[in-house]
Structures are given as structure tokens and as C-alpha cells.
């Protein structure tokens, strides 16, 4: 194990940087000239909408999506967080009340509260007409919540106005009966039930300035946004975009964990999560393997846990000291798999403004208590297709995942799954709506049984006198004599 020129370690307070939020951010800032209109893969009459986005200062690269969805009361474009890990569409109701500025808004008469890994909000539920000028040049009636109370959701330094959840209706609050934005768009615009996104920002400083491009495509796939083949993995359950992870490799060496560990209790693709998040056991194994295979002799535990930065002189970069990380996904043909690989440029992430003479970096992987989450750390390396119509998620090489002309991500396959279990997904926990149904059903059954027992106990029954046996305790000597009087 060789020595690396690590020079300093800086301690970070969680509240000092927006990079530690759960949700990444997409902003509605129009791109000059707009995005080119292309026919894509949508069928005639369906229409394909391409919307471009840019990244702005004080945000994580790849996290802001520009979408001219509407305007606030003061005429400024709304900045909307786009999240494939939730399903509600909501905008801030204060200080510029969305309700007051919209003549087409209609309240539905009830509130909703949505909680995330970090943060929550409460808002009024209603419906409104949303105009999408590009691609469709039309308006659609959608459900929307106006946020009047929040906690750790609108973080300091973040200037976004709301959230657009693109997951399935099963995650919608207060119930799955509330039609989601994308379901409304598919039904009213008659577009295919597919969307895709390209997130760019590999190797660019977190909380930095400047712009880096990317695209969100609603209704199909844009051929100019990827290279090579698209590899698809089945969606295991339609709530989150839950997929099946088969194994992880660090520097070409498998972690040799039971494949169910990678999927405990789920593995999902979530554009609203900044980092690659791993179940605790998997995270510990990854840290041990990365530390062992890297060329750095010692690392503070604070670097791996996210509380410290590792710093090098400005003339050096650390990426050559760290290994590649590969994630194997089950192919549509269950006997095969494919792998997506991220180079250190994607998970050893530069931080802006940490030191004058140093370039400082954070570890772009964190532990999770309840999921493996493929977030922006991985998604910035690929063009990702959410093909809801065929229950699959696709990955392809992204032209923007390059630094100095060299790719920072790889995708390859197929590989045999003969040495892997036929099902790596643990028994799914019941989600909240099903739990409520089961609870009410059990309570109803218990109430009926209790009622029957009470009726049987209260009804008089004729008793037949039997000959007394002196060895048997009779009614006169029983401790329970006259118990129902």
C-alpha cells in the first residue's frame, strides 16, 4: 500500500453545507434559446417533451432542473425539486401565496403532510391548470398542494419553491387515490408512460458556481442523450422505483455478501437523493474495501462518515488513489446481469471554498437504515430511463459523464447469475395503506367475535342436573358460584 499526498482534514458541520440534505434540487430557470425539439421515440400523436436544466450556485451539481412550469406572484420562475423518490406535487404557499396568484386554483378541502428522510411539510390540497409551453404547448389539470408549514425542508441557502414527485401513486399522500402529476400528464396528453433524465455534474465542485447541463424527457427517450446500448432491470415493486441489486465490487473484487443484504429492505433509484446510500452492513464493507484498496495509508473515520473533508494541494487530484465501484443489476432475462461502474470522480466529490491553498473532497457514499439508494452520485454517470409502461429502469452511458475527454462511468454485460440466488429481494414490508387495511380488518373481526361471546354469555341456557359425585367440586363449593349474578 503506497503513500498518498493527503495534506489536511477539515471538519464539517452538517448545517454548513446544503450537500447534506436528503433531497437534491431542480430549478426552474429558463435556458437561453430553449431545448431543441426532437421527435424522440414517442409514437405519432403522443408527443415527446424535452426540458433542459442548469445548475446554479449554492447547490449540488446535477441537482437543479430548469422547467418553465409557471411563475410565482412576483413573476419569477418557480424552482421545483424533481424527485423520483416521492409522489406529491407541491409549491410554497408563503410568502408569495400561490393560491392568491392563481385564478384557476380550486381547493379540495383537506390538508396533507409529507415526511422525508430529512424534513417535512404540510399543505392544502387542491387542483390547478399547469401550462407546459415546450413540446406540448398546452395546459393540464393536476393535483397540487400549497405548503403553509414545513420543517427542515426549505433549507438555508436553497432557493427552490416546491417539489415534483415522479414516483408511483402508492407513495402519494394522503392516499394513493390522489392522482400524481405524471399520471395526469400521461392521461391527458396521451404520452407514453415513460420519462428519462440525464444528470450532469461529474467532478464539478459541490456548492459551486457555473452551469452544467442535463435533460428531463417526459414521454420517451432522447437518442442524443446516451451512447451505446440501454440495459434494463425490472421494477420489482411499483411504489418507489425498486430494483434488484445482485452484488457490489470494489476495485474488481466482490464484497461477498449475501445478495439480500444489498436489498434490505429495498433498493431504489432516487433522483432526489444526493449520495449513494447503502445499508449499514454494506456501507461498512464498502468503506473497509475502499480503504484497503486505496493508496492512502490512513484515513480519519470522519471522512467516511461525512463529518470531515480530505484535502490535497490545488495542483493535485486524489482520484487516482481510489478504486472503481461496480453495482450489478439483474437483467430482464433473470439468468443474466449487467453492471454499472462509477469511477472515483463520481464518489470522491470536490467541495467549493473549503480552503485557499487546498482542494477538499467529501466521500459521496453514506449509510442508510432502510434502503440502498442509487442517488445523484451514481445517476450523474448515466442516462436513466424510467419505463413505467414495461415495469423497468434502464441505464446507458451518458455523454456528459466525462472529464478531460475520458469517461467517469462504465456499463457492461451480460454476466451469468448462476452463482447468485434466484431472488435477492427480501419479503416486502407492508406499506402504509395496506397496514391500515389489515389493521381495520383485524379490529372488525375482533369486534364481531367479542360481540358473539358477550351474547352467548348473557343468553340463558337450560341446565340439566347431573348426579352428584362427592369427589367432584360442585356448584355449592365452587369459588365461581353465582359469578353472573
Catalytic residues: 83, 270
Are 346 and 381 a contacting pair, CB within 8 Å? yes
Question: 3-state class of 236 per DSSP?
Answer: coil
Whether residue 162 contacts residue 78, with contact meaning beta carbons closer than 8 Å, is answered with yes
Question: Are the C-beta atoms of 272 and 83 separated by less than 8 Å?
Answer: yes
Distance of alpha carbon 164 from alpha carbon 167, whole angstroms: 9
- CA-CA distance, 220 to 386, in Å (whole number)? 9
Task: For residues 431 and 187, give the distance between their C-alpha atoms in angstroms, rounded to a whole number.
Answer: 26
Question: How many angstroms separate the Cα of 106 from the Cα of each of 79, 87, 99, 186, 230?
Answer: 22, 20, 9, 21, 42
Q: What are phi and psi of 187, to 5 degrees?
A: -70, -40
CA distance 416 to 327: 14
Ramachandran class of 290: left when φ > 0, alpha when ψ lies in -120 to 50, beta otherwise:
alpha
Report the side by side order of strands in the sheet with 245-250: 253-254, 245-250, 325-330, 336-342, 409-416
Helix (H, G, I), strand (E, B) or coil at 131: strand
CA distances from 89 to 173, 189, 217 (A): 10, 18, 18
Q: What are phi and psi of 438, to 5 degrees?
A: -65, -40
Amino acid at each position: 500500500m503506497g503513500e498518498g499526498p493527503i495534506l489536511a482534514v477539515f471538519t464539517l458541520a452538517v448545517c454548513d453545507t446544503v450537500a447534506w440534505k436528503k433531497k437534491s434540487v431542480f430549478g426552474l430557470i429558463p435556458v437561453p434559446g430553449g431545448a431543441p425539439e426532437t421527435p424522440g421515440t414517442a409514437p405519432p400523436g403522443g408527443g415527446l417533451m424535452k426540458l433542459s436544466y442548469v445548475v446554479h450556485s449554492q447547490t449540488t451539481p446535477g441537482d437543479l432542473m430548469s422547467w418553465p412550469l409557471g411563475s410565482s406572484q412576483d413573476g419569477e420562475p418557480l424552482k421545483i425539486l424533481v424527485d423520483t423518490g416521492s409522489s406529491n406535487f407541491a409549491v410554497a404557499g408563503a410568502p408569495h401565496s400561490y393560491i392568491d396568484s392563481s385564478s384557476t386554483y380550486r381547493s379540495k378541502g383537506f390538508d396533507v403532510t409529507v415526511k422525508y428522510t430529512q424534513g417535512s411539510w404540510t399543505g392544502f390540497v387542491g387542483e390547478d391548470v399547469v401550462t407546459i409551453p415546450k413540446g406540448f404547448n398546452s395546459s393540464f389539470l393536476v393535483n397540487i398542494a400549497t405548503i403553509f408549514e414545513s420543517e427542515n425542508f426549505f433549507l438555508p441557502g436553497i432557493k427552490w419553491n416546491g417539489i415534483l414527485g415522479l414516483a408511483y401513486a402508492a407513495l402519494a399522500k394522503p392516499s394513493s387515490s390522489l392522482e400524481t402529476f405524471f399520471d395526469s400528464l400521461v392521461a391527458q396528453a396521451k404520452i407514453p408512460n415513460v420519462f428519462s433524465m440525464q444528470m450532469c455534474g461529474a467532478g464539478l465542485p459541490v456548492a459551486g458556481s457555473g452551469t452544467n447541463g442535463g435533460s428531463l424527457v417526459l414521454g420517451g427517450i432522447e437518442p442524443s442523450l446516451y451512447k451505446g446500448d440501454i440495459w434494463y432491470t425490472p421494477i420489482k415493486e411499483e411504489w418507489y422505483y425498486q430494483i434488484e441489486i445482485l452484488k457490489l465490487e470494489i476495485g474488481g473484487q466482490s464484497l461477498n455478501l449475501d445478495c439480500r443484504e444489498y436489498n434490505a429492505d429495498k433498493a431504489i433509484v432516487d433522483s432526489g437523493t444526493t449520495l449513494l446510500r447503502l445499508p449499514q452492513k454494506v456501507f461498512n464493507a464498502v468503506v473497509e474495501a475502499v480503504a484497503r484498496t486505496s493508496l492512502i495509508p490512513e484515513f480519519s473515520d470522519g471522512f467516511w462518515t461525512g463529518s470531515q473533508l480530505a484535502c490535497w494541494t490545488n495542483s493535485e487530484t486524489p482520484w487516482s488513489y481510489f478504486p472503481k465501484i461496480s453495482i450489478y443489476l439483474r437483467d430482464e432475462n433473470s439468468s443474466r446481469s449487467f453492471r454499472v461502474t462509477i469511477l472515483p470522480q463520481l464518489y470522491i466529490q470536490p467541495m467549493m471554498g473549503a480552503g485557499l491553498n487546498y482542494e477538499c473532497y467529501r466521500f459521496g457514499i453514506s449509510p442508510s437504515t432502510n434502503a440502498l439508494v442509487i442517488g445523484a452520485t451514481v445517476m450523474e454517470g448515466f442516462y436513466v430511463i424510467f419505463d413505467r409502461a414495461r415495469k423497468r429502469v434502464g441505464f446507458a452511458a451518458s455523454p456528459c459523464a466525462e472529464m478531460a475527454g475520458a469517461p467517469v462511468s462504465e456499463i457492461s454485460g451480460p454476466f451469468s447469475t448462476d452463482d447468485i440466488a434466484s431472488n435477492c429481494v427480501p419479503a416486502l414490508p407492508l406499506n402504509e395503506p395496506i397496514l391500515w387495511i389489515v389493521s381495520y380488518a383485524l379490529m372488525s373481526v375482533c369486534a364481531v367475535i367479542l360481540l358473539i361471546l358477550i351474547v352467548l354469555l348473557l343468553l340463558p341456557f337450560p341446565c340439566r342436573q347431573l348426579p352428584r359425585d362427592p369427589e367432584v367440586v360442585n356448584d355449592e363449593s365452587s369459588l365461581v358460584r353465582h359469578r353472573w349474578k
